[in-house]
Amino acid sequence: MFPSGLDSLIGERIMSMGDGQLQIPFAVPMEPTVTIDSGPLIGTTTLLPSSTVTVNKFLGIPFAISPPERFSPPVPVQEWEAPKKAQAFTSACMQQFQSEFIRMFYQGTGYPGDSEDCLYLNVYAPTQGAEGKSVLFWIYGGNLQVGTAMQDLYDGSSFAANQDVVVVSANYRTNLFGFPNSPDIPLSQQNVGFFDQRLALDWVQRNIAAFGGDPDKVIIVGESSGAGSVDRLVHLPPKPLPFRGAIAQSGQASVSYGGANGNVTAWKVLAEAFGCSAPDKQLACLREVDSLAIQKLLDDPDGPRFHPVNDNITQLATPVDRSLHQSVPYMIGSNGQEGRVDVVEDADRTDMPTILRGFARNVSGLEEAYSIPSAGITTAADAAAQIFTESMFQCPAAVVANESEAAGWPTWRYYYNASFPNLAIQDALASVGQPDFDLRAFHSAEIWLVFGTYAMTNATDAEIRLSKAMQTAWANFAKDPHITGPGWPKYGTNNESVGQERIARLGLGPEYNVTMIGENQIDFRCSLFKEMYKTEEAPPF
């Protein structure tokens, strides 16, 4: 009588209709409960229009003592006895919005407000099917300055309902609060934001079975700096290994075109700004400063920036030798016009020499290679965006895919190149006076389709089809990262294979489907940056 999987969630009550001959059962949603190692939880449920599978949602589960001690690694959460409600998002960790466009972008995707009380995670689990499901552990991006798991953009309900997987997303600290760069903190304890991620992964190993997931079937997935975090975990994984595969969307941490290894100067600026300059007392003093006062300083466009350090525990110096440091099968990809987001606030710029100097880093031949006009490049802003796209994302993805395959790991690569108008970005564009700017396949555009969180009211058939294809590919990889992967051919051999069609192109063309293309179709300018990648010593984000 009810859709499959709802039996345990429905209390059948009988309603008498007059003569007592008609009995109509109706659904009374019941709050799902689980018991994890720290105590009992009460969640909530959702049923999507596109599925008959109800999803249990446990939102805002504490995985560490929160708020944590400022600038210190996280500590596992303490046990509780009374059932704890996990039915709503908690706060984001403290953000550093140095751009109005970025601020409006996050507010437009369900940004919940921020606090130091933020070390919580979410679990999305289908109610039907066998136990021991594959698990996707999501790590959000944001240049290690902003970001949160507590927003609708990363709602895992569609994944869980349509792909029979469990999805986990966890907050971690960023900017100063995640990477303090204090000389008073030992190097081994500097990257507290990365330790947040590791503790959340440890929580998954200890507790995911209670939600129907298999701790031996976890893959890590991330976008932008979340993909960089994924790559760091692949290089220097916790032991025992808490995942069996990795997907990096538009980011990595093994080659760099311009990273930063910490920033002690930023810490000094912060200490001076709040009267905490006394030797040996800066750390204690800054732990007492009001967090909103600190955030106001961080939000200044000219304010200090804080970065992870090369500690050989959570981050290696670049370039990373993947033959020594890769630990699991790998899938990596990039978007066709990643850099459009980065030029949106300067979309009218016309000074090509200035643009080239900004990207050059001793790279010659850029002006000729990205000449105006050429394919897809009609303005200086187009050229700047494409240089950024290829040097920062696309060409590093090629390096990573080739090195992963050469190291003997099952490897897949994709190239996302679709554009849809119903993504939650219009307010951000309007905030910088560019409401009609064409972002094309911009940085992060694929996230809505991967999670299925695009606006259904304005969705096209092509968008729905592509989203389903991508979601299926990601789930397929989670279920079998060694053999079938996402469902398209592996990256192939590394010898004399440049012309082989071994990259999955997602979305270009009238059918918005998956087609295979060769590296020579998109990577023909990547040789410009090879030497540059050998000289930088820290990941880009």
Q: What is the pLDDT of residues 14-58, one digit of tens each?
A: 233 333 333 333 444 579 999 999 999 999 999 999 899 999 999
CA–CA distance, 493 with 104 (Å, rounded to integer): 44
Q: Indicate whether 7 pLDDT > 80.
A: no
pLDDT of residue 457: 86
Q: What is the pLDDT of residues 158-194, one digit of tens each?
A: 999 999 999 999 999 999 999 999 999 999 999 999 9
Q: Which of 129, 131, 90 is nearest to 113 (CA)?
A: 90
pLDDT of residue 16: 33
Band of residue 499 on the pLDDT scale cut at 50, 70, 90: low
Q: Indicate whether 423 pLDDT > 50.
A: yes
Enumerate the active-site residues: 224
Strand 166-170 vs strand 133-139: parallel, antiparallel, or unpaired?
Answer: parallel
Q: What is the mean pLDDT of residues 387-414?
A: 96
Q: What is the pLDDT of residues 316-327, one digit of tens each?
A: 999 999 999 999
Q: Which tops the pLDDT comparison, 70 or 22?
A: 70
Q: Which of 485, 328, 334, 321 is nearest to 417 (CA)?
A: 334
- What share of the chain has pLDDT > 70, as a percent? 90
pLDDT of residue 318: 96
Q: What is the mean pLDDT of residues 303-321?
A: 96
Average pLDDT score over the chain: 89
Q: What is the pTM of this model?
A: 0.93
Measured from the Cβ of residue 527, the count of other Cβ atoms closer than 10 Å reads 11
CA–CA distance, 178 with 262 (Å, rounded to integer): 12
Q: Indicate whether 332 pLDDT > 90.
A: yes
- What share of the chain has pLDDT > 90, as a percent? 71
Q: What is the mean pLDDT of residues 248-272?
A: 93
Domains detected in the chain? 1-30 (no CATH), 39-223+264-304 (3.40.50.1820), 336-541 (3.40.50.1820)
Q: Which of 433, 470, 460, 430 is nearest to 335 (CA)?
A: 470
How many residues in total does the chain contain? 541
Q: What is the pLDDT of residues 74-123, one digit of tens each?
A: 999 999 999 999 999 999 999 999 888 888 888 777 878 899 999 999 99
Q: What is the mean pLDDT of residues 191-199?
A: 98
Measured from the Cβ of residue 231, the count of other Cβ atoms closer than 10 Å reads 30
